[in-house]
Amino acid sequence: MASGSNSLMWFRKGLRLHDNPSLEYAAKGSKFLYPFFVIDPHYMEPDPTAFSRGLDSLPEGVEHRKLCFEYDTEPYYQALDEKVKSYASVAGVEIFSPVSHTLYNPADIIQKFGCLSSRYFYQCIQEIQKSVKKHTSPPVSLLGQLLWREFFYTVAFGTPNFDQMKGNRICKQIPWKNDDELLAAWTDSRTGFPWIDAIMMQLRKWGWMHHLARHSVACFLTRWDLFVHWKKGRDVFDRLLIDSDWAINNGNWLWLSCSSFFYQYNRIYSSISFGKKYDPAGNYIRHFLPVLKHMPKEYIYEPWTAPVSVQRKARCTIGVDYPKPVVSHDSASKECRLRLGEAYALNKTLNGLQNRGTHLNMSAVYAAFRLTVYEDFSSLL
Distance of alpha carbon 182 from alpha carbon 166, whole angstroms: 22
361 lies in the binding site for DNA (CB under 7 A): yes
Q: Which is nearer to DNA, 71 or 208 (CB)?
A: 208
367 lies in the binding site for DNA (CB under 7 A): no
113 lies in the binding site for DNA (CB under 7 A): no
User: Using CA of residue 150, residue 156, residue 157, residue 159, what is the dihedral sign?
Assistant: positive
Identify which range of 37-45, 232-240, 264-272, 299-307 contacts DNA by CB under 7 A.
Answer: 264-272
Identify which range of 50-58, 101-109, 200-208, 268-276 contacts DNA by CB under 7 A.
Answer: 268-276
18 lies in the binding site for DNA (CB under 7 A): no
Distance of alpha carbon 275 from alpha carbon 272, whole angstroms: 6
CA atoms within 13 A on the CB side of 14: 27
Question: 96 - beta bridge partners?
Answer: 68
Distance of alpha carbon 227 from alpha carbon 265, whole angstroms: 12
Instruction: Write out the binding residues for DNA, residues 324-353 only, by CB under 7 A.
Output: 341, 344, 347-348, 351
Helix (H) / strand (E) containing 85:
helix 75-91
Site map for DNA, 45-64, x if CB under 7 A? --------------------
321 marked among binding-site residues: no
362 lies in the binding site for DNA (CB under 7 A): yes
CA angle 158, 159, 164 (to 5 degrees): 150
DSSP 8-state class, residue 175: -
152 marked among binding-site residues: yes
CB of 216: closest distance to DNA in angstroms? 8
369 marked among binding-site residues: no
Among 169, 177, 215, 239, interactor with DNA by CB under 7 A? 215
DSSP 8-state class, residue 340: H
Identify which range of 93-101, 127-135, 271-279, 314-322 contacts DNA by CB under 7 A.
Answer: 271-279
74 marked among binding-site residues: no
Q: At what angle do helices 194-206 and 180-187 cross, to 10 degrees?
A: 70
The total number of residues written for the chain in this structure: 381
CB of 365: closest distance to DNA in angstroms? 7
User: Using CA of residue 315, residue 275, residue 176, residue 252, what is the dihedral sign?
Assistant: positive
212 lies in the binding site for DNA (CB under 7 A): yes
With a CB cutoff of 8 Å and minimum separation 6, the contacts of 16 are 102, 114, 115, 116, 117
Pick from 2, 252, 20: nearest CA to 10: 20
Cα–Cα distances (Å) from 42 to 48, 99, 195, 372, in that order, read 8, 20, 32, 27
Pick from 341, 231, 206, 210: nearest CA to 275: 210
Cα R_g (the chain), whole angstroms:
24
Q: Which is nearer to DNA, 19 or 150 (CB)?
A: 150
264 marked among binding-site residues: no
Among 18, 135, 211, 324, interactor with DNA by CB under 7 A? 211
Instruction: Write out the binding residues for DNA, residues 243-262 only, by CB under 7 A.
Output: 252, 255, 262
Among 120, 121, 148, 176, interactor with DNA by CB under 7 A? 148
173 lies in the binding site for DNA (CB under 7 A): no
277 lies in the binding site for DNA (CB under 7 A): yes
CA angle 15, 199, 244 (to 5 degrees): 20
Residue 296 · residue 194 · CB < 8 Å: no
Q: Which is nearer to DNA, 249 or 311 (CB)?
A: 249
At 293, the amino acid letter reads K
210 lies in the binding site for DNA (CB under 7 A): no
Q: Which is nearer to DNA, 178 or 273 (CB)?
A: 273
Among 35, 46, 106, 144, interactor with DNA by CB under 7 A? 144
Q: Which is nearer to DNA, 287 or 348 (CB)?
A: 348
Residues that bind DNA (CB under 7 A): 139-140, 144-145, 148, 211-212, 215, 252, 255, 262-264, 266-270, 273-274, 277, 341, 344, 347-348, 351, 357-362, 365
* Binding-site residue ranges for FAD: 145-152, 243-245
